[in-house]
Amino acid sequence: MKKLLLVAFLLLSVVTLAACGKKTVTNEGTTIDFGDIFVKKSKIRVWIDDEQGDYMKAVIAEFNKKYPNIIVEHQHMGAVDARERLKTFGPSGNGADVFQFPHDHLAQAVLEDLVYALPQSTKDLLNARAHELGLSIATVAYDEQAKSFDPASPNSVERVYAVPMSVESVGLFYNKDLVATPATTMEAILTAGAAWNAEEVGSAGLTRAEQGLYYFNTSSHWADAYFMQPFLSAFDFTPFGEKLNDPSAVGFADTVDALKFFVEDLKPVVAGTAGVKDTKGGENFEKGLVPYIIAGPWMHETYQKANLNYGVAQMPTLNGKEMKTFAGAMMAAVYKYSDNVSDAIKFVEFLNSDIAMQLQYEYKTKLPALKESLLSGVPGVLEDSRMTSMSDQLKTSHPMPTIPQVTYYWAPAETMITEVWNAGKAYAEAAAAAETSYVTLRDLSAN
């Protein structure tokens, strides 16, 4: 009977509190808090690349300590797929309030009217905390009426469209069991590589090259223009001009010397007679069979699961010049037509917090997109040579081009390298054909 009376008392209290607007009641010296009953819950859906989900569970748990009444539904979505999926599912209400994407998707996402321009308060937060390179990529001058990224356009406004989560670049990954001290020049790598490749190993009397165990490798392939930019930079080439922002021309004519180096110096050591995509460098490095690979931080999880004893160094010099990689950032943005923009902004801002960055480092081994002076707030990062090497690499990197026309650079560049590497096409001829291909793709997109 006493229990029934207590239940009745509690139910009566709830009704009374609702009428009075109070959230607590005291019964026999015990204070009962009904606050959660009366605080309205809200919900956001988040698309983040986290297939296992453990990272996002940890992030959401920390977020809810600060915002307990915002329900966050995480759905795994590959970062490179999110933008296209949002174009399809966003208008029906089945998309995401927050979505993640790589740096080079930003301009297209803005053009496609997918991204909400973040408020001044968020911009102030990021100005104080975000990595300068990441923030520069997330900041875009755009004229919505003219759909122009030209800062001189009449209605152009510079806005921050995303929160950089991590900053990244390729680097020189090496097997510590095979390399005591990583090389600092590409010439040294190629010389040592020729000797390594020629050595016979195993009972079959085959050389390492004959077994496909090349000394120096790439986790992608040898015509991937993103991975090949460090080599191209050593021959003074950057696409779209010195500032990487001139869509009138890529400037492929300036790649001729680099193409010659690819075919005559690089190919014999890294591929022999094989084509650009015919080596198994990624697989061999993961198995611990070869010393070097060009890779990015997205490979850390794979190498750690393989229990590989590896390190990361800066890219070596070539021709006495720094090999400047493309620097990029992984972004989180708010869907422009979200039904809950306010809470979505809270979530993307939280991704810039120390605790969110700590979880990203712990679960994803990514370099936090924070100012260097703030990295001390993320335990372990400054003691991790993989992170500090990446941070140093970024100091000499070229920011990834963010103009929309960069979309039409990659395929012509890959075809150009493939044709000189695989088919022996004349260097100048391949470069000219790549420029023509780019212009065609660019002009078709404008119509």
Q: Could you list the pLDDT tens digit for every one of the 447 residues in the chain?
A: 545 444 445 445 544 544 454 556 555 555 555 555 556 899 999 999 999 999 999 999 999 999 999 999 999 999 999 999 999 999 999 999 999 999 889 999 999 999 999 999 999 999 999 999 999 989 999 999 998 888 888 999 999 999 999 999 999 999 999 999 999 999 999 999 999 999 999 888 999 999 999 999 999 999 999 999 999 999 999 999 988 989 999 999 999 999 999 999 999 999 999 999 999 999 999 999 999 999 999 999 999 999 999 999 999 999 999 999 999 999 999 999 999 999 999 999 999 999 999 999 999 999 999 999 999 999 999 999 999 999 999 999 988 888 889 989 999 999 999 999 999 999 999 999 999 999 999 999 877
Q: Looking at the structure, do residues 194 and 209 belong to the same domain, yes or no?
A: yes
Whether residue 182 is contained in a domain is answered as yes
Whether residue 9 is contained in a domain is answered as no
Overall domain count for the chain = 2
Q: Looking at the structure, do residues 333 and 215 belong to the same domain, yes or no?
A: no
Q: Looking at the structure, do residues 318 and 369 belong to the same domain, yes or no?
A: no
> What counts of helices (H) and strands (E) characterise the chain?
18, 18
Q: Looking at the structure, do residues 144 and 184 belong to the same domain, yes or no?
A: no
Q: Looking at the structure, do residues 98 and 231 belong to the same domain, yes or no?
A: no
Whether residue 89 is contained in a domain is answered as yes
Q: Looking at the structure, do residues 177 and 160 belong to the same domain, yes or no?
A: no
Q: Looking at the structure, do residues 283 and 242 belong to the same domain, yes or no?
A: yes
Whether residue 28 is contained in a domain is answered as no
Whether residue 49 is contained in a domain is answered as yes
The size of the chain, in residues, is 447
Whether residue 415 is contained in a domain is answered as yes
Q: Looking at the structure, do residues 313 and 334 belong to the same domain, yes or no?
A: no
Domain CATH for 75 = 3.40.190.10
CA-to-CA separations, 118 to 100, 163, 349, 350, 380, in angstroms, rounded: 15, 9, 10, 14, 31
Q: Are 113 and 145 in contact (CB under 8 A)?
A: no
CA-to-CA separations, 345 to 66, 330, 404, 445, in angstroms, rounded: 14, 17, 25, 32
Report which residue type is found at 258: A
Look up the domain containing 433 and give its range.
171-324+409-446
Q: Are 44 and 71 in contact (CB under 8 A)?
A: yes
Q: Looking at the structure, do residues 144 and 72 belong to the same domain, yes or no?
A: yes
Q: Looking at the structure, do residues 162 and 178 belong to the same domain, yes or no?
A: no
Whether residue 285 is contained in a domain is answered as yes
Q: Looking at the structure, do residues 177 and 255 belong to the same domain, yes or no?
A: yes
Return all residues near 362 (Cβ < 8 A) that are at least 6 apart.
380
Q: Looking at the structure, do residues 243 and 337 belong to the same domain, yes or no?
A: no
